[in-house]
Structure 1
Amino acid sequence: MTAAETSVTTHPEVQLLAALGFYAVGSFLEVVGDGTGLSKSSVSRSVAAMTPILLRNARTHIRMPTTQDEVRQVHSGFHAMAGIPRVIGVVDGTLIPILPWWICAGLGGNITLPSTPRWQWTTMASSRTSLPGGTHNSFVWANSAVGQKAGRGEFGRSIFLGDSGYPLRSYLVTPMINPATPQEERFNEAHTHTRTHIERVFGRWKCRYRCIHRSSGGLRLSPVKCCRGIVVTAMLHNIAVCVGADEPPPVDEDGESSEDEAPNLAPRESRAALHQAGVQTREELFNFF
């Protein structure tokens, strides 16, 4: 590293630009360095230095609505989509490719996130690279902080929407497998229309920050740094939405969400009671259609 480069990299602005360039481009560190006049090692140090600093602000920009006014706004936004009341979030999963040298290619970090109608992530339910890419979305959700809060009733009568791969609960409503009435069919249509918004959010998020898109070849960082980087990109996405930044074109993420049968996560008697509570909630929603 030259003396001139050493002087330049002392400026936090340059380090921040290098880190943001890495997240946005998702390319090799030396390619990012070409745009800032930095070496590969300098870009690596900039990403390592800036990521924890950016991460300090994550809880400010990635959070569930808490006040009654915020909850009402979210309910209203989702209701305007297709008429389903009391929706506070939509849940789904996606894969982020990570390729540190000691992990086999193809291992992904599962992420499950609820999304508001403003195309923002409201909370990171899980970004654990300890869970392999084949881990079922419903298992990730059930073991996440927000999923457990929902199970304890901390969101009141608010509900999340999930695909048929998730277990039906009073707080997590899935579509009817075999709709038998016009009401049930209309509900399913509204459910699908609302729920598929999260797939568009995944596309915009990954297109805006190519480091987490499969076209980048995978994050070439340690598992801990991968988790931190994923959260930072979600935070930056929310900030971009808040300031009205232009939306990137959507990216096709077909094949990353599964709707197969959810694994059993509780004793049979408990599952039956929870399922029945979900059935009752869903039947109440049918009355709106």
Structure 2
Amino acid sequence: MATGKMLPCSSDDLGLSSSSIAHVRTVITQTINDSDPQLVSQFVAFPQDASQLQHNQARFKAIAGFPSVAGVIGTTFRSSSVLSTTYNKEFKNFPGDPIILIDTHVVFDAHCKILYVVQKSVDQEILSEGGLKQIEGVLALAGYHLLGDSGYPCRQCLLTPYLRPLPGPQLNYNRALKKTRGVMRRGISQMKRRFPVLQADIKLKPERVSRIIVICAILHNICRDRNIPLPEGEDDDDGDDSDVKVKDEKMMDEENGPVESLPPSDLHYRLHFTDLHFK
């Protein structure tokens, strides 16, 4: 995963056939993801106690003054060359596009550690059918929020930018949100540098791509905990918005449509929050 050329490099280094390396890779990734969920939660887990949440929100607030932030959420796409009606029902692909897009929703804390990772078909469904629903209660009880982009539905626990902000508090809110969400860009950039396999299309079945991404998330957090430096290269804040550009080009109509057509209580909450903190 760290080379981006898993089979050829591992085969040369270990003196084994590519088929043997592929089998071992499949067994390991499947075992970690499916057989031992506690192992995943040991390294990738959303904080539950007040002290952790307080520490995290203080770090986020220091970035741009945006209060009560528990994490930033974003989507990265990893494509697969496999196309079938079975996968089309579970993973999103666009009409006429032979590539299956796997939406990987990642939540980062202020230290660029991953708090949550989940595969979901579209951003609009992330708070339903499981998704982040299981941590929504933690956020609501503690009074904290996630920060998302305009592809996510605005909720009391998930704040998103105004599509057409008015001068004053709304514009201040948008600017602070964008700057705070820079953590997302840095976190994704760090993962790509540590694991070049994430920089390009992974030519595997969708479920295998999902397992690989979860494994990379676990290893990324271990590196952060142990202060393992990034590979030599460009600064981790490289401004790489390629994932965002893909979404903007192919999902602009969807994002500018139903996102603002939300329950009035959620939109009123955002308005009140904006007027309270960004005058």
Q: Secondary structure at the match of 1:123?
A: strand
Could you tell me the TM-score, scaled by structure 1's length?
A: 0.76
Q: State the match for 1:280 in structure 2.
A: 272
Alpha-carbon distance change, 115 to 189 in structure 1, aligned in 2, over 3 angstroms: same
Which amino acid letter does the alignment assign opposite residue 172 of structure 1? L
The alpha carbon displacement at 1:25 in A equals 1.7
Contact 2:149 2:160 in 1 (8 A): yes
Pick from 77, 84, 87: which aligns with 1:95?
Answer: 77
CA distance in 2, matches of 1:167, 1:226: 26
Q: Secondary structure at the match of 2:114?
A: coil
Q: State the match for 2:204 in structure 1.
A: 221
Unaligned runs of 5+ in 2: 88-96
The alpha carbon displacement at 1:148 in A equals 5.7
Pick from 232, 236, 246: which aligns with 2:215?
Answer: 232
Residue 33 in structure 1 maps to residue 11 in structure 2: yes
Per-residue CA deviation, residues 63-107 of structure 1 (Å, 9 max, x unaligned), is 111111111111111011111111001111110122348688522
Which amino acid letter does the alignment assign opposite residue 81 of structure 1? I
Q: State the match for 2:146 in structure 1.
A: 160
Residue 109 in structure 1 maps to residue 102 in structure 2: yes
Which amino acid letter does the alignment assign opposite residue 117 of structure 1? A
Q: State the match for 2:94 in structure 1.
A: none
Q: State the match for 1:242 in structure 2.
A: 225
Contact 1:171 1:278 in 2 (8 A): no
Unaligned runs of 5+ in 1: 1-22
CA distance in 2, matches of 1:147, 1:205: 25
CA distance in 2, matches of 1:282, 1:151: 22
Alpha-carbon distance change, 152 to 64 in structure 1, aligned in 2, over 3 angstroms: closer
CA distance in 1, matches of 2:272, 2:11: 57
Alpha-carbon distance change, 60 to 263 in structure 1, aligned in 2, over 3 angstroms: farther
The alpha carbon displacement at 1:205 in A equals 1.0
Which amino acid letter does the alignment assign opposite residue 44 of structure 1? A
Which amino acid letter does the alignment assign opposite residue 35 of structure 1? D
Could you tell me the TM-score, scaled by structure 2's length?
A: 0.79
CA distance in 1, matches of 2:207, 2:43: 21
Per-residue CA deviation, residues 190-209 of structure 1 (Å, 9 max, x unaligned), is 21110122022112212211
Per-residue CA deviation, residues 170-225 of structure 1 (Å, 9 max, x unaligned), is 222223344444444333222111012202211221221122221xxx22333222
CA distance in 1, matches of 2:29, 2:107: 23
Q: State the match for 1:200 in structure 2.
A: 186
Instruction: Please identify the structure whose Cα radius of gyration is greater.
Output: 1
Pick from 149, 168, 171: which aligns with 2:157?
Answer: 171
Superposed CA RMSD: 2.8
Q: Which shifted more, 230-239 or 160-169?
A: 160-169
Pick from 56, 62, 72: which aligns with 2:44?
Answer: 62
Pick from 61, 72, 76: which aligns with 2:58?
Answer: 76
Contact 1:26 1:209 in 2 (8 A): yes
CA distance in 2, matches of 1:153, 1:116: 14
Which amino acid letter does the alignment assign opposite residue 86 of structure 1? S
Q: Secondary structure at the match of 2:105?
A: strand
CA distance in 2, matches of 1:263, 1:150: 24
Residue 46 in structure 1 maps to residue 38 in structure 2: no
CA distance in 1, matches of 2:155, 2:104: 21
